[in-house]
Copies of this chain bind each other. A is one copy, B any other.
């Protein structure tokens, strides 16, 4: 039969474990954790289950590795978005825009994180893993927000609380995008970004194009109230 199929590409593989983790992530994100078996994961990586079990103790460890893959990806993506040198408010806007697009458009992102939330309920390790990630995301956003706010000389609000509220809304958005696909329209996405930015009560900021809704009137807040 089909012997010697691909003995060539042996040993040159980029160190199986990360490749398996990536394959696992892609399959999990496309089909959900419960609907993927280890034969498929191994197959996608070009090996079989025997070798998968050489690198990972069990399915749970593979899942955790897939999570790490996802976390790393997120950080590098956001790094790329915030890299270009701009002023802090614009960086905040870009990051939020990127995140909103990820939540709404990137179905893999949606399905994968939903699955994690499900697993979290019944596995402490997954929960701990996600908790660390969420913490890093929050700190990242807090940094962005405080920078943006101090740039406007209004830092009277609790940035951490605001960031939490925004992140909650983003997670909810992810879920809602699953059953109300019409929010994927560009105009809707734009409005949603404005809504989230509104949480921080920053001025309309950045570009000159007029904001889409009158909501951002908030920017003008009575001064002299800093704590």
Chain A interface (Cβ < 8 Å from any Cβ of B): 32, 34-35, 110-111, 114-115, 117-118, 120-122, 127, 130-131, 134, 156-158, 161, 164-165, 167-173, 175-176, 178-180, 191, 195-196, 201, 213-215, 217-218, 220-222, 225, 227
Contact A158 B222 (CB under 8 A): no
Nearest CB of B to A129, in Å: 10
- A contact patch SS: helix
Q: Could you list 6 A-B pairs, sorted by A, with CB under 8 Å?
A: A34-B34, A134-B176, A134-B180, A161-B191, A165-B169, A201-B218
Contact of A222 among B35, B167, B178, B220 (CB under 8 A): B220
Nearest CB of B to A7, in Å: 38
Contact B115 A118 (CB under 8 A): yes
Contact A179 B130 (CB under 8 A): yes
Indicate the member of A34, A175, A220 with the most B CB atoms within 10 Å. Answer: A175
Task: Report the bound CA distance from A134 to B161 in whole Å.
Answer: 26
Contact of A127 among B130, B173, B178, B201 (CB under 8 A): B178
Contact A175 B117 (CB under 8 A): yes
Contact of A122 among B35, B201, B217 (CB under 8 A): B35
Contact B167 A172 (CB under 8 A): yes
Contact A178 B32 (CB under 8 A): no
